[in-house]
Amino acid sequence: MSFDTLLVANRGEIACRVMGTARRMGLRCVAVYSEPDAGALHVRMADDACCIGPARASESYLSAQRILEAARRCGAGAIHPGYGFLSENADFAEACRGAGLVFVGPSADAIRAMGSKDAAKLIMEKAGVPVVPGYHGEEQGAAALEEAAANIGYPLLVKAVAGGGGRGMREVASAAALPKALEAARREARGAFGNDHLLLEKLVSPARHVEVQIFADAQGSVLHLFERDCSIQRRHQKVIEEAPAPGLSAKTRSAMGEAAVCAARAIAYEGAGTVEFLLDCSDGDERFYFMEMNTRLQVEHPVTEMIHGVDLVEWQLRVAAGEPLPLGQESLAPHGHAMEARIYAEDPARRFLPSPGTIVHLAEPPASDALRIETGVVAGDTITVHYDPMLAKLVAWGADREAARRQLAAALAAYEIAGPATNRSFLSRVVTHPAFAAGAVHTGFIEEHRAQLLPPPAPLPDRALALACVDAILCRTPSASRGSATRQAGDPFSPWDAADGWLLNAEGWDELVFADGDEELRVRVHYSSEPGTLGPGAAPGEYRMELPGGEQRVRGRVLERIARHGVEIHRLEAWLADTRVAATLVHRADLIDLFCAGEHHVLVPHDPRHSVCDEAEAAGAIVTPMPGKITRVFVEAGQRVKKGEPLLVLEAMKMEHTIAAPAAAVVESLGCAVGDQVEEGATLVVLGSG
């Protein structure tokens, strides 16, 4: 190895992932971090760490100058860029090599060749690789794009040539919708990539997103590690990936692999890369088209590692040091099946809006040979608005696809997280959906099955209410007990200090109230410490609960109480009738997160001492869902709006989010203007009935 110290120019789970391999190889690891990341997991994992600036990525993780200075100060001999940030920045790769550092990635020329989607398509056409029909010319005027769109036909996609992760991409159904789509895509691309050049593509639907992992060394060897299916996407961003692609014919698999190797050879590629294809499955045939090449490691690379038993980061480091590839194409064959689910801090019920906040509770399923967990966060960490909200990846392996799917479903069920909203439950619904189980995946899967995957909020089930009630009774303080004297006598044998509902001449009972949206749920709990009081068959310490769905006998015990990160965590064992269940309850300031059998419920206990907020005061106020910048305002005071009509555009967490009217109304006042930086909860627009 030509270097002994590696600087990882990234953050989060990919920085932790790279450092894990580097340290196993005996390399010293250097982390870089922005000011809010000073206590992040990747910083704590490193042997050394350098602060490179404030929260804004352009002044820290995107600052090549600061990263190179950190490498000089810490004596690094090589830089691994991870993915995102500077990983596909040709100028950065060039600057690293100019500073005498090994850049763990391809040459600057290769990055430039594939860095622009339109230029990449021209190169692929010349190399004989099939490309999606469309327009990728230099002329960017509205008239030229409208004419090109008419020639392609609708529906089509508008894409930023420098884009990625769904940014700067818009689906257009008709000519009338094209001008707004072009404007929005340009604005988002300019903000995300500093380049508002666009291309147009025929929308292939139904389609699958299938990509091929390629690797090349300085000795001229190029190989592929077969394909991954990344069709399950929201907002054109992947959330579940798997390898191999289900149902792909051997003929198409071979042709895709050969095309990917051909693409790599066309630009004299070195290192790890991914060639992405669109698989047209509209008429049963398997026609594939080149979409783009990512000149870096992909988020979903672990599924390829799991089916080949290799470490692609180790391959990257060895190839960057001048070593040949450790295997040849003839030695590679997939073994079993792997699936990956990306857990994000986002709210699926609110159009997958990012959900910043502090993680107050995190419990992961145990890792094993069949389950890999990659994360960059721990309980107590705060998810900010400054960076991508991905929290972790769960990667499952099985002897076949069904075994891998069941393994992933079990891992998602066992993953507990409280604090910011997440997509964990949504992912569970995807993985357990019959169509997914059957392998019927395509890029429109989420929209096709939206009703099942994104159902409206359901009433709290009786089981959740029963568990919350028994937990409340077992953990209550004496002063909270019905019928108790509120004084604290300190006598453990005094009936006035007991919290078991004991009454002198009557059956003890209590009524617990929880809020479920606008509805109050009341549960009357009857209890007694004397056998037989609750009727035949009752056990000591058993409670009879009058739940919305009927009566239920419940008993239980708290196995553990832990206080940390400002919350109290209860591990509960309970028997609902004759069924034993285990649950975790996380008590926050004003609500309870309940985890049981893969379900996550949020309960709001009713406290009569706290008045309900004045709904009339808040009615009609549209508030900021997260901190961000106002980039567009579509309305003015006095204007009438229809339900769903856009009010403004908020830029946050590297994406644009359109805030729409929840109902027909009149704009009474505006609380923001274009260019304003707004905090979460700030009033943006006040609507009235008019």
Active site amino acids: 296
Distance of alpha carbon 597 from alpha carbon 652, whole angstroms: 34
Phi, psi of 209 (to 5 degrees): -100, 110
Pairing of strands 579-587, 567-576: antiparallel
Question: Tokens 């002198």 correspond to what residue?
Answer: 504
Tokens read off for 152: 């392609």
What is the distance of C-alpha 379 from the center of its chain?
A: 16
Tokens read off for 109: 């020329």
Q: For 374, how many CA atoms within 13 A lie in the half-sphere containing its CB? A: 23
Cβ atoms of residues 351 and 345 within 8 Å? no
- Could you give the maximum distance between any two Cα atoms of the chain, in Å? 92
Q: What angle do CA 154, 155, 160 make, to 5 degrees?
A: 105
Question: Tokens 């100028």 correspond to what residue?
Answer: 91
Angle, nearest 10°, between helix axes 108-115 and 117-127?
A: 100
Phi, psi of 188 (to 5 degrees): -70, -40
Using DSSP, state whether 264 is helix, strand or coil: helix
Residues counted in the chain: 690
Rg (CA), the chain: 28
What residues does 576 pair with on adjacent strands? 554, 579
Angle, nearest 10°, between helix axes 312-320 and 12-24?
A: 70
Q: Tell me the C-alpha to C-alpha distance, in Å, between residue 315 and each of 21, 327, 332, 445.
A: 10, 10, 14, 34
Distance of alpha carbon 570 from alpha carbon 228, whole angstroms: 40
Q: Tell me the C-alpha to C-alpha distance, in Å, between residue 574 and each of 79, 473, 500, 525, 571.
A: 52, 12, 17, 15, 10
Q: What angle do CA 407, 409, 413 make, to 5 degrees?
A: 115
Burial state string for 217-238 with b = 16 or more CB within 10 A and e = fewer than 16: beeeebbbbbbbbbbbbbebbb
Cβ atoms of residues 667 and 648 within 8 Å? no
What is the distance of C-alpha 515 from the center of its chain?
A: 28
Q: What angle do CA 88, 93, 95 make, to 5 degrees?
A: 140
Phi, psi of 268 (to 5 degrees): 50, 55
Phi, psi of 592 (to 5 degrees): -125, 130
Distance of alpha carbon 57 from alpha carbon 637, whole angstroms: 35
Distance of alpha carbon 573 from alpha carbon 580, whole angstroms: 7
Q: What is the dihedral of CA 13, 15, 20, 23, to 10 degrees?
A: -170
Q: What angle do CA 533, 539, 543 make, to 5 degrees?
A: 70
Distance of alpha carbon 597 from alpha carbon 610, whole angstroms: 32
Cβ atoms of residues 272 and 213 within 8 Å? yes
Tokens read off for 185: 């895509």
Cβ atoms of residues 405 and 431 within 8 Å? yes
Please count the other Cβ atoms lying within 10 Å of the Cβ belonging to residue 613.
Answer: 8
